Amino acid sequence: GRDRTATLCATFEAVIGAVYLDAGLEAVRTAVLTLVKPTLIHIIEESLHKDARSEFQMWAQAQFNITPRYQVVGVDGPDHAREFTIEARLDQQVWGHGRGRSKQSAAHAAAAEALKLVAFIEGNLPPDQTRITAETPSHA
């Protein structure tokens, strides 16, 4: 349990709440900034705040003036444990596939796969690092 994200989030929230009740808002502000500022700086400097969908969209718009579409092509599993399969598309071309427990996570995975293809096309990734399928666009 101690490594579960939900447990860690709840614990952090409880500690921040206790600091607020004991010392007030300014103490919370100081504590939170002390804890998260180095991570925030790293995220901003490394552009980690941009997720795969945002990155793929920026690339697609710059290259083709097209916004990617994400299409659900499969839903598997029982109602309580669905797994979605989504394609990342530019026009009718499939650029990536993704699977996930939510549509959002599947779309993110599809965009991440599309970015691998982009990196390959632009010469930034060796061919063995990406999965190129028959549906991969033959032109870019």
Condensed to tens digits (0 to 9), the pLDDT of residues 12-50 reads 999 999 999 999 999 999 999 998 888 888 777 766 656
Tell me if 120 is assigned to some domain: yes
CA dihedral for 74, 94, 71, 54, sign (positive or negative): positive
Same domain, 39 and 58: no
pLDDT at 133 over 70: no
12 phi, psi to nearest 5 deg:
-60, -45
Instruction: Say if residue 65 is in the same domain as residue 29.
Output: no
Q: Using one digit for the tens of pLDDT, what is the confidence trace for 50-79?
A: 689 999 999 999 999 999 999 999 999 999
The answer to whether residues 9 and 61 belong to one domain is no
pLDDT at res. 24: 95
Domain housing 93: 52-129
Residue 135 in any domain: the answer is no
Q: Which helix (H) or strand (E) holds 89?
A: strand 83-90
Same structural domain for residues 70 and 102? yes
User: Do residues 36 and 70 share a domain?
Assistant: no
